[in-house]
Structure 1
Amino acid sequence: MVTPEVLTAKGVWEGLVEKNPWLKTSKLVAKPDQMIGGRGNAGLLAVNKDFDQVKQWILDRMCKDSTVAGITGQLTHFLIEPFVAHKQEEEYYICMQSHRYKDEIFFYHEGGVDVGDVDAKASKLAVPTGGDITAHMVKSELLDKVPADKQEHLSQWIKTLWAVYKDLHFAYLEINPIACLPDGKIVPLDLVAKVDETASFLCAQKWGELDWPSPFGRAAYPEEALIRDLDGKTGASLKLTVLNERGRVWTMVAG
């Protein structure tokens, strides 16, 4: 993770390399990590670069305004990852999301930045809330358009991913793409995840140090951050959203 600290403090880049020697020996990918969707199509993705190129790419954008899907905000947090060489036909899309009475798994055999309307195109597997899945269910319901030699391994991987999704109380998990490589490795290349904040008292130890960032283009008010901290320490639900910092009317929703 690269933060605005690189603009003001000395030795930050050197410290990153010391902790992660692969930064100097591998081709890299860089992208902002601020709940921004469609980064590839928005020009916010540096691919197959060396460390010096990635460093300059980040510095050119750090703390600068950027507009994505009509929303303008500052780019302040970037990820650097190893570049994974693969072919387009090895890219797949998967999404898991929770609803009131069921969870759903979406899978599409042509993943990537141009995946399009997956709601219309993807294969879907509905799971009643509290239910479970098997590798056979995954294979028969989701993987009919995946090459036969990849179906068994991929179905087991999705089954395991589903177990993690439930155990950590995710509400939404989208990986686009996952790359299924010839050597059998399955590599998530880009991921969007939402966890159920009300499960913090159950999962805090498993989650570890988990930040609750504000949406891109909207910085959190100190009062919101305070209430969010209190919310994480109790089984009750405590929420505060400041709609107008100069407003004089408080809207309270009770239920």
Structure 2
Amino acid sequence: MARKKVREYTGKRLLREAMKRIAGVELPINVAQVTQATNYSDLLAEHPWLNQVKLVVKPDMLFGQRGKNDLVGLNLTFSEAEAFIRARMNKEVLINGLSGPVTTFVVEPFVPHEDEYYLSIQSGRAQQQQRQQQRQQYTITLGAMLGCDISFSTAGGVEIEENWDKVKTVTLPTGTPASGDALAPLVAPLPLELRPKLEAFLRNCFEVFDDLDATLLEMNPFTLDPKTGGRRRGPGCARCQNSHLHHKAAPQPLM
């Protein structure tokens, strides 16, 4: 079955809406998208929060190493964010031997934090296969079952590839819920007081993943909301700094 990749802007809006509908959790996600055609006055009128908080700006395109290529702006005012984007719009970048222009940016609130986590949920195939991760030159052999791999790390962020040995993975066969027992190996490295919050968030993300019929959900990094102690109208509330979502069918952007 074909897969459809969606931009981070759309993925976060889908995640926010589905998390509220399925788990009753209101994720504190505000996000705006900027292209060459964007009118910044109209953007500010549509998203007043852009002028009320410090911002993060980065390309909303499916390539990595953005921070390492001077494509991420942190702790910016709205006017600084606009200048940052204008200076990089349509700029040619070279990533892993491939080049192209940067045409789309995503803007969201800057969240001061210390801990950065990594999460990936990916559907498997019915037959045994080998998945190569060239960035780390290692191989994972998947069993002959249909299911999902849930991967989590307490060492997320721009150095996730260098810390890939800290990523823990569990495989859930199709139809198996993300129970506390199933997720326990993933949250085991966390302090005891954080395990229930992160376990609840991972479980909610898995339920959203299943409901949206997604094939890949990846967040790197995400962090607990420091203003609410990890909670906002529900357990395990988190802020997603960077996320990607792949669908089996093309989702419609939320209005």
TM superposition score normalised by structure 2: 0.72
Q: Decide which of 210, 230, 239 is 1:184's aligned counterpart.
A: 230
- Contact residue 136 and residue 155 of structure 1 kept, 8 A: no
CA deviations on 1:76-103 (whole Å, 9 max, x unpaired) are 111111101111xx21111111111221
Q: Greater strand percent: which structure? A: 2
Task: State the Cα distance separating 1:74 from its structure 2 match.
Answer: 1.0
* Aligned residue in 2 for 1:5: 37
Letter in 2 for 1:184: G
Letter in 2 for 1:93: Y
Task: State the Cα distance separating 1:116 from its structure 2 match.
Answer: 2.0
Q: Greater helix percent: which structure? A: 1
* Aligned residue in 2 for 1:156: 200
- Contact residue 134 and residue 159 of structure 1 kept, 8 A: yes
* Aligned residue in 2 for 1:113: 158
Higher alpha-carbon Rg? 1
CA deviations on 1:137-162 (whole Å, 9 max, x unpaired) are 21x21111111101111111110110
- Give the ranges of 4+ consecutive aligned residues of structure 1 lying more than 4 Å apart after TM superposition: none
* Aligned residue in 2 for 1:96: 121
- Contact residue 155 and residue 163 of structure 2 kept, 8 A: no
Aligned partners of 1:196 and 1:55: how far apart in 2? 34
Letter in 2 for 1:105: I
- Contact residue 154 and residue 166 of structure 2 kept, 8 A: no
TM superposition score normalised by structure 1: 0.72
**Is 2:214 the partner of 1:170?**
yes
Bigger RCO of structures 1 and 2 (CA < 8 A, at least 6 apart): 2
Aligned partners of 1:64 and 1:41: how far apart in 2? 15
Aligned partners of 2:222 and 2:91: how far apart in 1? 30
**Which structure 1 segments of 5+ residues have no match?**
7-11, 201-206, 211-255
Q: How does 1:56-95 map to 2 (within 5 A)?
A: 56-87=83-114, 90-95=115-120
- Contact residue 27 and residue 82 of structure 1 kept, 8 A: yes
Secondary structure of the structure 1 residue equivalent to 2:176: coil
**Which structure 2 segments of 5+ residues have no match?**
1-32, 126-145, 232-237
Task: State the Cα distance separating 1:177 from its structure 2 match.
Answer: 0.9
149-158 vs 116-125, greater mean Cα deviation = 116-125
Aligned partners of 1:164 and 1:47: how far apart in 2? 29
* Aligned residue in 2 for 1:249: none
Aligned partners of 1:96 and 1:42: how far apart in 2? 27
Identity fraction in percent = 30
- RMSD across aligned positions (CA): 1.7
Q: Decide which of 73, 78, 84 is 1:51's aligned counterpart.
A: 78
- Contact residue 32 and residue 77 of structure 1 kept, 8 A: yes
